[in-house]
Homo-oligomer: A and B are copies of this chain.
Amino acid sequence: MNYCSNCGKSLSFSTPPGDDRPRYLCDSCGTIHYQNPLMVVGCIPEVDGKILLCRRSIEPCAGKWTLPAGYLENGETVSAGALRETYEEACARVEIIAPYAIYNISHVSQIYLMFRARLLDNDFKPGSESKEVRLFSEEEIPWGEIAFTVITKTLRDYFRDRAQGKFSFHIGDVLPNV
């Protein structure tokens, strides 16, 4: 961030009066440019005990498998965003059952909200960001080829809950790979 999106002048980076951390500030028009975490919303689509995964056709992690999820858009509810991403990535129609988990990925300032969902029919196919979409039983999950740590965590929590016959709402942290 170099220039003020309001007036186009150069920005400085310092702590505004009364604030406790540095922000991008415009000394010309006075605008403070706050930067805040992004929400990612997605689904765990299940039917007949199997989970729908998408193989990514784009970077990052092209070729790896993921649950349908993406950035929440302005004006959207979290449920609507999760349904939209599921349709965009897998052309899949689902019904949301319940919110399942929030995962903090603080080192990249992302908050994931994942929903349990029921796949409504088998008319799914790859969307523009996927090269393949298919159903996996728990035994078939390609654990070594999952795109993101948060997706591995989501699936592990989900299968653990499912085995115990009870889904509880989770909140957890995803740390950087070291």
Contacts and interface: CB of A to CB of B under 8 A. Distances in A.
Given A3-B7, A102-B99, A111-B72, A37 B39 contact: yes
B71 A34 contact: yes
Contacts of A36: 38-39, 71-74
A149 interface: no
**Total identical chains:** 2
Interface in A1-50: 1-8, 10-11, 18, 21, 33-39
Interface stretch (A76-84, A140-148, A157-165): A76-84
A122 interface: no
A173 interface: yes
A37 B7 contact: no
Query: SS class of chain A's interface: helix, strand, loop or mixed?
Result: loop
Contacts of A137: none
A92 interface: no
A61 interface: no
A75 interface: yes
A39 B91 CA distance: 28
A154 interface: no
Contact of A77 (B72, B99, B106): B106
Contact of A5 (B5, B37, B74, B107): B5
A138 B35 CA distance: 37
